[in-house]
Amino acid sequence: MKQTVYVKRGGLLPLVGAVLLTAIPSPAAEDVVILRQADMKAMAAAAKTISGMFKDPASYKAAEFRWAADTIRDRSGGVLSGHFASEAASPQSKAKPNIIEERDRFDRIANDLRDYAVALDAAAEKNPGSMPASMRMKPGEAMGGGPIGTQVRNERELSAMPAEHAFHLLLQTCTTCHARFRME
Ligand code: HEC
Task: Locate the domains of the chain by residue range.
Answer: 26-181
Burial of residue 170, with CB atoms counted within 10 A of its CB: 0-12 exposed, 13-18 middle, 19 or more buried: buried
Burial of residue 55, with CB atoms counted within 10 A of its CB: 0-12 exposed, 13-18 middle, 19 or more buried: exposed
Q: 106 CB less than 6 Å from ligand 1? A: yes
Q: What is the mean pLDDT of residues 24-37?
A: 80
Alpha carbon nearest to ligand 1 atom 37, residue: 174
Average pLDDT taken over every residue of the chain:
85
Alpha carbon nearest to ligand 1 atom 35, residue: 44
Model pLDDT, residue 2: 45
Ligand 1 centre from 40 Cα, in Å?
Answer: 5
Which is higher by pLDDT, 153 or 174? 174
Q: What is the mean pLDDT of residues 88-95?
A: 84
Closest atom of ligand 1 to CA, residue 88:
18
Q: 116 CB less than 6 Å from ligand 1? A: no
Q: 9 CB less than 6 Å from ligand 1? A: no
pTM for the predicted model, two decimal places: 0.84
Reported as a single tens digit per residue, the pLDDT across 107-121 is 999 999 999 999 999
Q: 117 CB less than 6 Å from ligand 1? A: no
Going by pLDDT thresholds of 50, 70 and 90, the confidence category of residue 148 is very low
Please tell me the distance from the alpha carbon of residue 24 to that of residue 29, in angstroms, as a whole number. Answer: 10
Model pLDDT, residue 7: 44
**Domain 26-181 architecture:** Up-down Bundle (1.20)
H-type alpha helices, the chain? 2-23, 27-55, 62-73, 77-82, 98-101, 103-126, 155-160, 163-181
Burial of residue 74, with CB atoms counted within 10 A of its CB: 0-12 exposed, 13-18 middle, 19 or more buried: middle
Alpha carbon nearest to ligand 1 atom 30, residue: 40
Model pLDDT, residue 77: 97
Model pLDDT, residue 154: 73
Q: 7 CB less than 6 Å from ligand 1? A: no
Model pLDDT, residue 87: 73
Which is higher by pLDDT, 19 or 34? 34
Model pLDDT, residue 149: 43
28: pLDDT strictly greater than 80: no
Alpha carbon nearest to ligand 1 atom 26, residue: 37
